[in-house]
């Protein structure tokens, strides 16, 4: 999260620009700008379209105020829009006449952080090949209605409707049809709502779901839906092959003795022909669809006319007895055979209505998908459902369930009696899949209709599957599939996707059984429909302002009912197949969720996150705070977070999944010189943190503002984390006083405070500046050929990297390679006890600010990206990041601050990288040594009641002890320049330590000196030290005196966090 605020102070530098106000005569009495003094002519929209510019009123030619822009649709286009030139409205700074913020070259602006919307990562081939003006575009009839009707009228209408009527009866078959229609109608209403909520591109169901529910569900359903269409192509092809094989065997023609093998062979030949036709292009495919629809309509008429005519003797013997009420009554109730049941019959029929998304699947090829998809899809459902019901009732009222097929049985009226001995019924609704051909006026027309229905559906599926899969590949949700995103030709045809679909279809054609394949794809289609319905429900429930569908005939609860209905039907058909479908979807969903693709589609999932966050934040306001629910919420003054990664790392370890962390960047310049996307950087470092930025004339003013304003409701920081000011002795006095007053401000606002100090410092801003810009001029002369720097290819690759390379967890192996390939450079550094500064002997070191990194220990420097980098600094940057710590973590609880000094180290040790450390607690007491053991027992009992696990508890006292002389000498040198000299006055140097103040604090100073000796004795080799510090008394201390105490106890020590709570209890031993 990112929050940017500007302090209520006067902003300096570029922001100090004159402000121009309207003159008084331009304002009315209320201070509002007066209306222009000219007549305004009212224009209708038609007038604006029809009239030329020359005919417009004169006022329309007047210049706009400043450089403001009028509403323009191009200003709302996506960056990668291919339908027009991208424009942008002027920024606020431009409208205010501020100069555009200066930036450096592209590399330094982003520091190599390549952050962009994933929709901008479309393949170059797609961007260059797809020419919007040349792409084939269809209207709602040819693009949606015809395509959906043909896809719905698949092989089932001729090959399985009669069989289903025989098994389920007319009544239950009507229920099956109406139930399937209910599912498809609800799904279509949801689809219409989603696709009218903004422009949609190619990808069909995948595009609708992914842009509504996000890439997790979208990516999963995109793969499954593509696969279902590919398998559906095989199913329709098998239907065609079954019909052709039956026709050939009527004429005693066969390829193999086993009809299944004939189905397989003919199916493979058919799919090859369809594959070639699909490669021809969308225009030819659409023409073929129209031709096939004509054949299908003629076949329907042929069947209807055939049922009206009186049956011949041969037709009677095969079960066609003509219309009668008695026949309808006989066929009205179910008569299950061969272990069939309602669920399996529904599973066999449901693929017959799964073509409702045939139009949506080619949404990229529609002229106006927002109007075409709802109109064409709903009308196709009405037409096809009516035809299915009509044919079911016609079959039930005119055809018997079983018949012998023997004309001789007509004489004794036993042609319908299948219980006779030595009689096998091979005709009737239950036994003859081709019975509609027998009933029709002319059988070859029905055969042509079956061919038309099966081939059109197979062709539609063969075209839909690659296009949906291509859309998935273009979004790069899954790795290694970008290969299939490449299109070909002006229509951007997914040639590679066609090949993949062809291979999948061939595999399933080898099954050779229509009834075995149908339930498989039913589950996949039902899962897609369930997610479409849930997408509509979820988007409505989220109440996002962007959810404004033009299609109004939907209801969120109806959509939810549709989703539950789809899931219920899935389990009714085949529970194990439904379970497998869920496992596949869940696996793909979890994979995308874990991989976290850099995609932002404004999904309803994001809207829900905001809604829930708002809801829970408001609930928190009514909850009273309790000590058991206390969480240390940190406001971390990081500056640019990339410059103080160690500070971020240690706080992230304490707060991750537990409490609030806000990285605060107070910018005192007019421009952030790094211009880095810090939120993305923190995401890469796996911080659970917010980022807040504020521009302020001074650090203290900005921090004071942030401590009061950052956060919302109860989600506010209560603990301030800052780095220790290593350069307090040499920096400007104003900066030192501001730092000291910042600590006082934190206590004033009842913040707890934590001050982190590392021996090498925390601020690496100067190093990062050098790393990203400075060239090494001396290395080429000093290096031998065998010890040259990185090769050109390696160097080029490194130049593409950025400061993230320096501080990311993947760099361990990279750095080792660099260390092995490059010579070592060295510089001499020593500590000058008089000036407390680092003496520098190398040009690179001069580029570092000596005050911020005063205690560098390593002497090994490497060359990386044409820059020398101190290896010790690199280790210091990542000192806490993904590194397992060992040894002791010492807590010096010297003052009772409410328990914050104990709670924070306890929270840190709960993290896996710190769990191997042993916790030692040192507690100060004012009692004599005689009572120390008793005090130790009491404190041990207290800590056990606090449920704080520790390895050692040491009670110490500074009473009747003297500090080491060496420690006294170091401290005296520290404050030498801060003490008021005899010839100086407080009026001249009000920031210095007077003799009176020094004497008042002498006991406290001695106590700190003794504490320093104890720290050296017990904690010199510890992994981390936490120590409680005192609260500055504003009447008895000053900046130099207080900072000298902090410097003394933390100087030349392991990483140390100096803590002070706000005196409120954060620990309790009550349940």
SS (H, E, C) 8-61: CCCCCHHHCCCCCCCCHHHECCCCCECCCCCCCCCCCHHHHHHCCHHHCCHHHH
User: Does 961 lie in the same domain as 904?
Assistant: yes
Instruction: For tokens 């794809």, name the residue.
Output: 521
Q: Residues in the chain, how many?
A: 1071
Name residue, tokens 């139009």: 359
What is the pTM assigned to this prediction?
0.65
Radius of gyration of the chain (CA): 40
> Which of 871, 885, 722 is closest to 806 using CA atoms?
871
Distance CA 184, CA 205 (A): 13
Residue 93 lies in a domain: no
What tokens appear for 701 in the block? 């003013």
Mark which of 702, 730, 757 sits at the end of a domain: 757
- Beta strand pairing call for 1024-1028 and 918-924: unpaired
Which of 110, 117, 102 lies closest to 801, judged by CA?
110
Read off the pLDDT of residues 682-699 as tens digits, 9 standing for 90 and up: 888 888 899 999 999 999
Distances (CA, A) of 99 to 15, 667, 991: 9, 18, 40
**pLDDT for res 844:** 32
User: 996 and 975, same structural domain?
Assistant: yes
804 and 851 assigned to the same domain: yes
Q: Which is nearest to 719 in space by CA: 692, 672, 751, 687?
A: 751
- The CA distances from residue 1015 to 702, 980, 1018, 1041, in Å, are 35, 29, 5, 20
610: in domain = no
Q: Do 750 and 782 belong together in one domain?
A: no
DSSP code for 142: I
226 and 269 in a single domain? The answer is: yes
Distance CA(124)–CA(118), nearest Å, equals 13
Q: CA-CA distance, 214 to 235, in Å (whole number)? A: 31
Question: What is the spatial distance between Cα 578 and Cα 547, in angstroms, rounded to a whole number?
Answer: 31
Asked if residue 438 is part of any domain, the answer here is yes
Residue 830 lies in a domain: yes
Confirm if 840 and 850 have CB atoms less than 8 A apart.
yes
837 and 931 in a single domain? The answer is no
Flag whether 831 is in a domain.
Answer: yes
pLDDT of residue 22: 39
Q: How many domains does the chain have?
A: 4
Q: Is 346 helix (H, G, I), strand (E, B) or coil?
A: helix
Count CB-CB contacts under 10 A for residue 15: 13
Q: Do 259 and 172 share a structural domain?
A: yes
- In-domain check, residue 86: no
Task: CATH number of the domain at 412, please.
Answer: 1.20.1740.10
- Say how many C-beta atoms besides its own lie within 10 A of residue 758's C-beta: 22
Q: Tell me, yes or no, whether 565 and 657 share the same domain.
A: no
Angle between helix 495-509 and helix 259-280 axes, rounded to 10 deg:
170
1058 phi and psi angles, rounded to 5 deg: -90, 125
Q: Which of 757, 792, 811 is the last residue of a domain?
A: 757
Residues of the chain with pLDDT under 50: 1-64, 79-85, 99-133, 771-868
d(CA 50, CA 293): 41
pLDDT of residue 103: 40
CA distance 876 to 1027: 21
Output the pLDDT for position 598. 75
DSSP conformation class of 720? E
CATH number, domain of 997, equals: 3.40.50
Residue 373's pLDDT is 87
d(CA 396, CA 454): 24
pLDDT reported for residue 889: 92
- Contact (Cβ atoms closer than 8 angstroms) between residue 702 and residue 666: yes
Q: Would you state the pLDDT for residue 932? A: 67
Q: Is 243 exposed, middle or buried (0-12, 13-18, 19+ CB in 10 A)?
A: buried
Asked whether residue 906 falls in the same domain as residue 870, the answer is no
H-assigned helices in 489-513: 495-509
DSSP, res 899: S
Q: Do the domain assignments include residue 120?
A: no
Asked whether residue 712 falls in the same domain as residue 858, the answer is no
The Cβ-side half-sphere exposure at 591, using a 13 Å CA radius, reads: 14
Give yes or no: residues 166 and 299 share one domain. yes
The reply to whether 415 and 318 lie within a common domain is yes
* HSE-up (13 A, CA, CB side) for residue 637: 26
Pick the last residue of a domain from 839, 858, 877: 877
User: What phi, psi does 540 have (nearest 5°)?
Assistant: -70, -40
Contacts of 996 (CB under 8 A, 6+ apart): none
φ, ψ of residue 435 in degrees (nearest 5) = -70, -25
How confident is the model over 309-356, as pLDDT tens digits?
Answer: 988 888 888 889 889 999 999 999 998 888 888 888 888 888 888 778
Q: Is residue 620 part of a domain?
A: no
What is the domain extent for residue 704? 628-668+684-757
- The total of other beta-carbon atoms located within 10 Å of residue 461's CB is 29
pLDDT value for 809: 36
pLDDT of 872: 59
């Amino acid at each position: 999260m990112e929050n940017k605020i500007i302090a209520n102070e006067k902003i300096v530098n570029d922001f100090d620009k004159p402000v121009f106000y309207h003159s008084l005569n331009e304002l009315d009495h209320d201070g509002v700008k007066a209306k222009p003094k000219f007549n305004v002519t009212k224009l209708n929209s038609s007038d604006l379209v029809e009239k030329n510019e020359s005919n417009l009123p004169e006022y329309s030619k007047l210049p706009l105020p400043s450089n403001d822009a009028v509403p323009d649709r191009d200003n709302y286009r996506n960056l990668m829009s291919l339908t027009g030139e991208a424009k942008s409205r002027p920024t606020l700074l431009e409208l205010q006449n501020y100069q555009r913020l200066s930036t450096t070259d592209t590399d330094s602006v982003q520091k190599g952080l390549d952050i962009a919307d994933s929709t901008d990562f479309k393949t170059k081939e797609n961007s260059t090949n797809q020419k919007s003006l040349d792409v084939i575009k269809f209207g709602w009839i040819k693009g949606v209605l015809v395509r959906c009707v043909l896809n719905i009228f698949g092989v089932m209408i001729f090959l399985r409707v009669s069989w289903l009527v025989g098994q389920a009866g007319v009544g239950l078959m009507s229920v099956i049809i109406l139930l399937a229609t209910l599912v498809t109608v609800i799904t279509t209403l949801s689809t219409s709502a989603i696709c009218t909520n903004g422009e949609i591109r190619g990808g069909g169901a995948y595009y609708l779901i992914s842009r509504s529910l996000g890439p997790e569900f979208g990516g999963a359903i995109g793969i499954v839906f593509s696969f279902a269409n590919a398998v559906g192509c095989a199913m329709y092809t098998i239907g065609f092959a079954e019909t052709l094989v039956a026709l050939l065997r009527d004429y005693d023609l066969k390829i193999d003795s086993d009809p299944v093998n004939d189905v397989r062979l003919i199916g493979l030949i058919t799919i090859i022909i369809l594959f070639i036709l699909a490669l021809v292009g969308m225009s030819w495919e659409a023409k073929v669809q129209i031709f096939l629809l004509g054949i299908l309509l003629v076949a329907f008429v042929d069947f209807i006319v055939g049922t009206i005519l009186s049956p011949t003797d041969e037709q009677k013997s095969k079960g066609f007895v003509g219309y009668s009420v008695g026949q309808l009554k006989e066929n009205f109730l179910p008569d299950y055979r061969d272990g069939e049941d309602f669920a399996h019959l529904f599973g066999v029929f449901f693929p017959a209505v799964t073509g409702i998304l045939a139009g949506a699947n080619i949404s990229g090829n529609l002229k106006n998908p927002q109007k075409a998809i709802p109109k064409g899809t709903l009308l196709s459902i009405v037409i096809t459902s009516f035809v299915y019901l009509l044919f079911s009732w016609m079959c039930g009222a005119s055809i018997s369930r079983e018949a012998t097929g023997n004309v001789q049985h007509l004489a004794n009226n036993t042609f319908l009696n299948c219980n006779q001995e030595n009689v096998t019924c091979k005709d009737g609704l239950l036994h003859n899949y081709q019975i509609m051909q027998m009933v029709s006026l002319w059988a070859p027309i029905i055969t042509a209709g079956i061919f038309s229905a099966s081939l059109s559906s197979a062709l539609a599926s063969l075209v839909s599957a690659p296009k949906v899969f291509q859309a998935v590949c273009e979004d790069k949700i899954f790795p290694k599939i970008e290969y299939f995103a490449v299109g070909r030709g002006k229509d951007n045809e997914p040639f590679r996707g066609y090949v993949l679909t062809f291979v999948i279809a061939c595999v399933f054609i080898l099954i050779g059984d229509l009834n075995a394949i149908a339930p498989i794809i039913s589950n996949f289609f039902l899962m897609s429909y369930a997610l479409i319905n849930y997408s509509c429900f979820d988007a409505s429930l989220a109440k996002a302002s962007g959810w404004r569908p033009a299609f109004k005939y939907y209801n969120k609860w109806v959509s939810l009912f549709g989703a539950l209905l789809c899931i219920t039907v899935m389990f009714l058909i085949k529970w194990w197949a439904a379970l497998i479908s869920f496992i596949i979807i869940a696996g793909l969903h979890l994979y995308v969720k874990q991989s976290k693709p850099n995609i932002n589609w404004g999904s309803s999932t994001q809207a829900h996150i905001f809604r829930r966050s708002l809801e829970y934040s408001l609930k928190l306001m009514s909850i009273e705070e309790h000590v058991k629910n206390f969480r240390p919420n940190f406001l971390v003054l990081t500056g640019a977070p990339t410059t103080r990664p160690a500070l971020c790392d240690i706080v992230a370890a304490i707060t991750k999944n537990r409490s609030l962390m806000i990285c605060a960047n107070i910018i005192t310049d007019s421009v952030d010189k790094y211009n880095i996307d810090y939120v993305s950087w923190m995401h890469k470092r796996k911080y659970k943190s917010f980022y807040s930025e504020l521009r302020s004339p001074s650090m203290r003013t900005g921090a004071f503002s942030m401590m009061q304003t950052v956060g919302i409701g109860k989600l506010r920081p209560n603990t301030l984390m800052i780095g220790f000011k290593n350069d307090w002795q040499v920096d400007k006095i104003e900066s030192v006083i501001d730092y000291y007053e910042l600590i006082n401000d934190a206590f004033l606002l009842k913040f707890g405070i934590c001050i982190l100090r590392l021996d090498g410092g925390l601020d690496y801003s100067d190093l990062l500046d050098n790393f990203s810009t400075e060239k090494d001029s001396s290395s080429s002369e000093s290096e031998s050929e065998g010890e040259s720097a990185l090769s050109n290819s390696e160097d080029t690759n490194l130049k593409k990297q950025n400061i993230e390379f320096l501080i990311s967890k993947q760099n361990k192996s990279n750095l080792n390679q660099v260390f092995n390939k490059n010579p070592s450079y060295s510089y001499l550094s020593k500590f000058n006890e008089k000036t407390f500064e680092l003496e520098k002997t190398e040009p690179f070191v001069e580029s570092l600010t000596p005050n911020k990194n005063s205690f560098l220990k390593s002497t090994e420097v490497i060359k990386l990206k044409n820059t020398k980098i101190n290896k010790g600094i690199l280790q210091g940057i990542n000192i806490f990041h993904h590194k397992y710590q060992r040894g002791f973590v010492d807590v010096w609880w010297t003052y009772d601050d409410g328990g914050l000094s104990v709670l924070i180290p306890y929270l840190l040790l709960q993290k896996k990288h710190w769990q191997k450390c042993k916790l030692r607690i040192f507690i100060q007491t004012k009692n004599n040594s005689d009572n120390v053991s008793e005090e130790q027992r009491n404190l041990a009992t207290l800590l056990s009641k606090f449920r704080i696990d520790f390895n050692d508890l040491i009670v110490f006292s500074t009473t009747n002890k003297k500090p080491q002389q060496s420690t006294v000498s170091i401290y005296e040198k520290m404050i030498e320049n801060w003490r008021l000299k005899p010839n100086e006055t407080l009026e001249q140097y009000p920031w210095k330590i007077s003799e009176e103040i020094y004497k008042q604090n002498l006991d406290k100073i001695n106590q700190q000196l003794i504490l320093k000796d104890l720290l050296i004795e017990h904690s010199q080799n510890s992994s981390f030290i936490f120590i409680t510090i005192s609260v500055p008394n504003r009447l008895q201390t000053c900046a130099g005196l207080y900072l000298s105490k902090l410097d003394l106890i933390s100087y030349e020590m392991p990483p140390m966090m100096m803590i002070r709570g706000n005196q409120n209890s954060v620990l309790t031993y009550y349940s």
